[in-house]
Each structure stands twice: as structure tokens, then as C-alpha cells.
A and B are shown apart, each in its own frame.
Chain A
Amino acid sequence: MKVFKKIGLFLLIVFVCIQFIPTNRNQSTEILDTDITKTFKVPQNIQTLLNESCYDCHSNNTKYPWYNKIQPVSFLLERDINQGKKELNFSELGGYSNRRQKSKLKSLMSQVKDDKMPIASYGLMHSNAKLSESEKKEIIDWATTLRDNLK
């Protein structure tokens, strides 16, 4: 029994200590000139889907969940957001070359079509994020038109 108590206490101390690990917050109210909405037409229905399913990890503005400031959650979130923004950042997409925009849109369509995005772990905590078949089609059709117009 004493051993359990010691282990519990040890874990508690570890838990408290890791709270001091600093993390950066991905939040910005500023809309950059390179934002997708400044370069492309984003209809309201698509904007809603992007907001709910993509922007937390693929833009400069994350809507953090209430538990976000507790480690190790902060750390995991920060890692996912950095990784996500590296692959695709809607706040910067407008600044890319046409060539790069086209390949980003192609990857976007393929990820959505294959249900690779939004990732499953995100869907666990954000039940709205999961895209229905018709929502997937809306996004893919929209991205296809955008890409075809980029010649």
C-alpha cells in the first residue's frame, strides 16, 4: 500500500513539473495578405467546413479546447499544429506560387477523399469535425474548380 502511495506521489510530482514546460500558442486575429480568402473565392458553406474541420491545425488561428493548457496535452497539440501547418497553412496558401498551390490542393483532395483528414484523434474530441460524404464532395468539388482555374 505504501508503495502505491509513493508511486502516486511520484507521478503527481512529475505531472506538476511538466506543467512548467512552455508551449507556443497558435493564435492570431490578424488576417494575412496571403490568406486563402484573399486570393480565392471561398463560399460560406466551404468556409464553415474549413473552420470546423481544418483551421485548428492548418491556419494561424487555433480554437483551443478547454484542457489545452494542461501538459502533456499542450505539448501534443503544439506538435500536431506545427506538423499540420507545415503540410498546409490556409493563412499562407495565397502567397504560394501557382504550381505549389495546385499541388497543395491536390494533396488536400486526396487526404479528404481517403478519410486521412481530419485525423482520427482530432475527431475524438471534435465531433463536428468529421466530414460526411456530402461534405467531402463539397470540398473536393470546390478544390477541383480552384485547381483547374490555376493554369
Chain B
Amino acid sequence: MNKTIYVIAFAILFLTAFKDEKKQDESNKIYIEEIKNHHNDGHGSMVNNLSENTTKAASIQNQSSTSEIIDAYLQLKNALTEDNEKKAAEAGNAILTAFSNFNISQLTEDQHKEYVEIVENAKEQAEHIVKSPIDHQREHFEVLSTDIKDLIALLGIETGTTLYETFCSMYNNHTGAMWLSETEEIKNPFYGSKMLTCGKVQKQIN
């Protein structure tokens, strides 16, 4: 009795081991299709239909939405200056929310492509910030800082807001790294309490 069970068991094991394999090629093809579709998607034509007036109105709205993104970024920056991993993770989520609240249909065609590239990258950084230990959060914060800086260059910030582009030349084995701050006073998010005042303001963004 027992022997039969063992025999059957191994027979099944062998059968399943040689069952048909679903090859990767199929999913590759789907991926290529996706890329193709992405390049000629209908978005451009939709944007073209916007009259100039609506584009102007849109840029005002964009400013208020970038301010949500910038606020979330600053929240992250401040959590890192305080060496607070948990708060930084929460800020990572806030950044993801801010990006999904952003009204992408208001962008001009020229802005659209770069916006998508920036956000795709920035979101990935934010996702890692949500789930990583603080030293990794800081590595991703460095990349994110460049993304946010470029986003501001692309879309501007709300009138009356001032940001400071600040540089710490020690981080990354002295290659240095940039971050954005709402104050001129230096509080270093890359080192936190270890070297809180390392860095200097390089540029003011209005």
C-alpha cells in the first residue's frame, strides 16, 4: 500500500517537472508593444487641442500642484535632518500621493515628456524611501533632489515661495550632493546630527 503511494508520488513529481514551460518570449513581445504604444499614444493630440489661454491657466494650477510635491519633499528633507527614518518613510508616501494628485493633462506637449521621465524616476526613489533603512533613504533622497530641482526648472514654483539650492561637498566620498531647502540656515539631510551644518547655499530659487 505504502509502496504504491511512493511510486505514484514520484511519478507525479517527474510528470510535473517536465510540464510545458511558458516561455518568456511572449511577455517580451507584450513589453515591446507597450513601448511602441507609449511612443505614439494619443496624449500629444489631446494637448495640442488646448488653446493658449487654457495653457496659461494651467500653468497657474500646476504651480499649486508642484507646491504639494515640494512640500512633501521638504517634509522628507526635514525628517532626514532629524535622523528620523519613520517620518522620512511617511514623507515618501506623501510624495507619492502628491505625484498622483498632480494633474498631468494640464501640461504642454513639450513639458509632458520630460515630466513623465522625471516623475517615473522620482516615484521609484520615493517607493524605496518608504521601505528602506535611513542610509538608503539618503541615497535615494540624493537622486530625488535632482529630480525635484529639474521639475521646478520645468514647471516653476508658486509665486512668493523661495527655495535654496544647497550643496554638501563631503557626501559620496567627496563627490558632493545637492538638496533643496526652504531656509538659508544649513541643516544637512545627508548626515543629520553627525554633521548638521555641513554645506553651503549655492543658489536661490524664486
Contact = CB atoms under 8 A, between A and B. Distances in A.
A27 B21 contact: yes
Contacts of A7: none
Contact of A100 (B21, B32, B117, B139): B117
Given A97-B121, A99-B118, A100-B121, A12 B24 contact: no
Nearest to B21: A25
The 5 closest A-B pairs by CB, nearest first: A28-B24, A97-B117, A69-B17, A19-B16, A25-B21
A12 B7 CA distance: 12
A95 B124 CA distance: 16
B136 to A, nearest CB: 8
A30 B121 contact: no
B81 interface: no
Given A12-B9, A99-B118, A69 B16 contact: yes
Contacts of B139: 106-107, 110
Question: Among A9, A19, A70, A106, which residue has the most Cβ atoms of chain B within 10 A?
Answer: A19
28 contacts: A9-B5, A12-B5, A12-B9, A13-B9, A16-B8, A19-B13, A19-B16, A20-B16, A22-B19, A24-B22, A26-B24, A27-B24, A28-B23, A28-B24, A30-B25, A32-B28, A34-B35, A70-B13, A91-B28, A92-B31, A95-B35, A97-B120, A99-B121, A99-B147, A102-B143, A107-B139, A110-B136, A110-B139
A103 interface: yes
Interface in A11-48: 12-13, 15-16, 19-20, 22, 24-30, 32-34
Given A16-B12, A97-B121, A99-B117, A25 B22 contact: yes
Contacts of B16: 19-20, 69
Contacts, number: 72
Interface in B33-52: 35
A60 B22 contact: no
Interface of A: 9, 12-13, 15-16, 19-20, 22, 24-30, 32-34, 60-61, 69-70, 91-92, 95, 97, 99-100, 102-103, 106-107, 110
A22 B21 CA distance: 9
B125 interface: yes
A97 B23 CA distance: 28
Given A16-B13, A19-B16, A30 B118 contact: no
A100 B9 contact: no
Nearest to B22: A24
A112 to B, nearest CB: 13
Contacts of A60: 24, 28
Contacts of B143: 102-103, 106
A138 B18 CA distance: 40
Contacts of B124: 100, 103
A28 B28 contact: yes
Determine which residue in A12, A16, A24 has the highest number of CB atoms from chain B within 10 A of its CB, and name it.
A16
A70 B28 CA distance: 25
A52 to B, nearest CB: 20
B24 A61 contact: yes
Nearest to A32: B28
